[in-house]
């Protein structure tokens, strides 16, 4: 079995993390999103993977190399411009000689879905689209079904015009004629794979495989917290504690820790926390529902809740990230009542007694002066002082 994985997306709503790494390489549960996807493909029996990469592609290629670490054959094609999922798939055409599965590199699913989609295609030789049912389908490609076939796919319809609560789950199986179908599709600036499938559904059968298993999508920053928590629950506690944990410190079972982590006296690492490699948690610090990337230092007395902290960042003593529910504006869209303390980018230098209000996003390489109150969006390389 051969798979094409679409991993070229920029992930602008996940700024600033995606300035230094492609979206599929953001870690959740201490592994890049894309690694979870590759593991599912490996478990499903895939032998060869073609990764479609784009911005910051060296981060993908240096991590996976030629796939020997997974006993897979991994190769790469480049989507230089982000011109849609159909355009991304077209970049892999020269690598494909027979039927294949295709999937998104930023959605975490079970291997069983890949197996079921492939089996349906092998049985019928028809295109196959996976679908899953969610509560708010209008944020995705909404799929209208006719029995076990796809009747239509509409990308992000208005909620009041949504025809179904099934959405495109992002795993497909195709024969090579899908490439000609993509080229025939009318475009409006982008070549979207869903547009091709909508047109194709009026010409021939497209089979639907319904899926009720794990389906984890990262679109907005707070999704990282939800997905991290779900993966910890799904895989269960690691059973390993960091080598350097003071006897008076607490590390919850529902937390994950990388190599070289140090947790100092009276610190508490509570549920839903992932600590990357070489993270230091200072005396008396409290963390809950947080994703902490590698080489982060959180100093004494800090409280960090509902927060993502980028790599090589320092939060000074008695820093407070309040956590809780708030409204957040991303790309002119207002998201109401999301649980989100904040996102602090890579290489941020934080002084002492800094307070980060819920919903704050701090750009990479920013400096947060001691005693400052941080809110809203802070541009990269900014210097914020108490005022």
pLDDT digits (tens, 9 = 90+) for 53-112: 998 999 999 999 999 989 999 999 999 988 999 999 999 999 999 999 999 999 999 999
- Reading the block at residue 246, the tokens are 């003071």
Q: Would residue 231 count as lying in a domain?
A: no
At residue 161 the predicted structure's pLDDT band, cuts being 50, 70 and 90, is confident
pLDDT at 282: 98
At residue 241 the predicted structure's pLDDT band, cuts being 50, 70 and 90, is low
Count of structural domains, the chain:
2
DSSP annotation of 26:
S
For 244-257, what is each residue's pLDDT tens digit? 999 999 999 899 99
Contact of 117 with 130, CB cutoff 8 Å: yes
Q: Would residue 226 count as lying in a domain?
A: no
The CATH number of the domain where 348 resides is what? 2.160.10.10
- Reading the block at residue 29, the tokens are 């549960």
Q: Tell me, yes or no, whether 191 and 297 share the same domain.
A: no
Is the whole-model pTM more than 0.75? yes
Q: What share of the chain is helix, strand, coil (3-state, %, to 5)?
A: 25, 35, 40
Nearest to 5 by CA among 126, 172, 130: 172
Residues 6+ apart with CB under 8 A from 302: 282, 285, 286, 315, 316, 317, 318, 319, 320
Contact of 146 with 121, CB cutoff 8 Å: no
Q: Would residue 233 count as lying in a domain?
A: no
Q: Tell me, yes or no, whether 181 and 244 share the same domain.
A: no
pLDDT at 166: 93
Q: Tell me, yes or no, whether 60 and 158 share the same domain.
A: yes
SS3 27: strand
What secondary structure does DSSP assign to 36-89, as a single string?
HHHHHHHHTT--EEEEEE-TTHHHHHHHHTTSGGGT-EEEEEE--S---HHHHH
SS3 355: strand
Q: Would residue 115 count as lying in a domain?
A: yes
pLDDT at 55: 86
pLDDT at 220: 95
Q: Tell me, yes or no, whether 253 and 373 share the same domain.
A: yes
In this structure, are strands 333-339 and 325-330 parallel, antiparallel, or unpaired?
A: antiparallel
At residue 240 the predicted structure's pLDDT band, cuts being 50, 70 and 90, is low
What is d(CA 9, CA 160) in angstroms, rounded to the nearest whole number?
29
pLDDT at 238: 63
Q: Tell me, yes or no, whether 58 and 184 share the same domain.
A: yes
Mean pLDDT score across all residues of the chain: 93
Q: Tell me, yes or no, whether 243 and 212 share the same domain.
A: no
The verdict on whether omega for the bond into residue 16 sits within 30 degrees of 0, i.e. cis, is yes
Q: Would residue 351 count as lying in a domain?
A: yes
What is d(CA 92, CA 76) in angstroms, rounded to the nearest whole number?
8
At residue 236 the predicted structure's pLDDT band, cuts being 50, 70 and 90, is confident
Average pLDDT value for residue range 327-340: 92
Q: Tell me, yes or no, whether 297 and 243 share the same domain.
A: yes
- 199-208, 296-305, 335-344: lowest mean pLDDT where? 199-208
Q: Tell me, yes or no, whether 243 and 117 share the same domain.
A: no
pLDDT at 188: 74
Q: Tell me, yes or no, whether 144 and 268 share the same domain.
A: no
Helix (H) or strand (E) holding 199: helix 193-201
Q: Tell me, yes or no, whether 245 and 192 share the same domain.
A: no
Q: Tell me, yes or no, whether 247 and 159 share the same domain.
A: no
Structural domain range at position 275 = 239-384
Distance between terminal CA atoms of the chain? 60
Q: Would residue 234 count as lying in a domain?
A: no
What is d(CA 102, CA 51) in angstroms, rounded to the nearest whole number?
10
Q: Would residue 228 count as lying in a domain?
A: no
For 5-40, what is each residue's pLDDT tens digit? 999 988 899 999 999 999 999 999 999 999 999 999
At residue 239 the predicted structure's pLDDT band, cuts being 50, 70 and 90, is low
pLDDT at 16: 97
Q: Would residue 56 count as lying in a domain?
A: yes
Contact of 14 with 218, CB cutoff 8 Å: yes
DSSP annotation of 159:
G
Q: Tell me, yes or no, whether 53 and 143 share the same domain.
A: yes
Contact of 307 with 286, CB cutoff 8 Å: no
The CATH number of the domain where 54 resides is what? 3.90.550.10
What are the two backbone dihedrals, phi and then psi, of residue 138, each rounded to the nearest 5 degrees? -65, -10
């Amino acid at each position: 079995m051969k798979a094409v994985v679409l991993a070229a997306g920029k992930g602008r709503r996940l700024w600033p993390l995606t300035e230094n790494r492609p979206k599929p390489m953001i870690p959740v549960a201490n592994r890049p999103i894309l690694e979870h996807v590759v593991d599912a493909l490996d478990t499903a029996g895939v032998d060869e993977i073609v990764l479609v990469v784009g911005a910051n592609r060296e981060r993908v290629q240096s991590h996976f190399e030629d796939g020997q670490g997974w006993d897979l054959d991994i190769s790469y094609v480049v989507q230089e411009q982000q011109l849609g999922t159909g355009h991304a798939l077209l970049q892999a055409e020269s690598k494909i000689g027979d039927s294949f599965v295709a999937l998104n590199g930023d959605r975490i699913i079970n291997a069983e879905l890949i197996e079921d989609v492939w089996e349906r295609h092998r049985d019928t030789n028809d295109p196959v689209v996976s679908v899953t049912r969610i509560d708010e389908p209008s944020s995705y490609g909404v799929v209208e079904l006719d029995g076990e076939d796809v009747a239509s796919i509409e990308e992000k319809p208005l909620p009041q015009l949504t025809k179904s609560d099934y959405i495109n789950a992002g795993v497909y199986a195709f024969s090579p004629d899908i490439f000609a179908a993509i080229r025939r599709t009318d475009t409006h600036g982008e070549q979207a794979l869903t547009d091709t499938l909508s047109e194709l559904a009026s010409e021939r059968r497209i089979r639907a495989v319904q899926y009720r298993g794990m389906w984890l999508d990262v679109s907005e920053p707070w999704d990282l917290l939800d997905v991290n928590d779900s993966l910890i629950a799904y895989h269960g506690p690691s059973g390993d504690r960091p080598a350097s944990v003071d006897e008076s410190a607490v590390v919850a079972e529902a937390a994950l820790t990388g190599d070289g982590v140090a947790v100092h006296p009276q610190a508490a690492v509570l549920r839903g926390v992932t600590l990357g490699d070489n993270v230091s948690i200072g005396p008396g610090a409290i963390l809950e529902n947080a994703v902490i990337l590698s080489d982060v230092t959180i100093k004494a007395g800090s409280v960090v809740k509902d927060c993502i902290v980028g790599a090589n960042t320092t939060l000074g003593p008695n820093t407070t990230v309040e956590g809780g529910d708030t409204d957040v504006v991303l790309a002119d869209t207002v998201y109401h009542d999301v649980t989100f303390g904040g996102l602090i980018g890579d290489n941020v230098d934080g002084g002492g007694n800094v307070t980060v209000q819920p919903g704050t996003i701090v750009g990479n390489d920013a400096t947060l002066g001691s005693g400052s109150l941080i809110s809203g969006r802070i541009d990269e390389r900014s210097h914020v002082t108490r005022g």
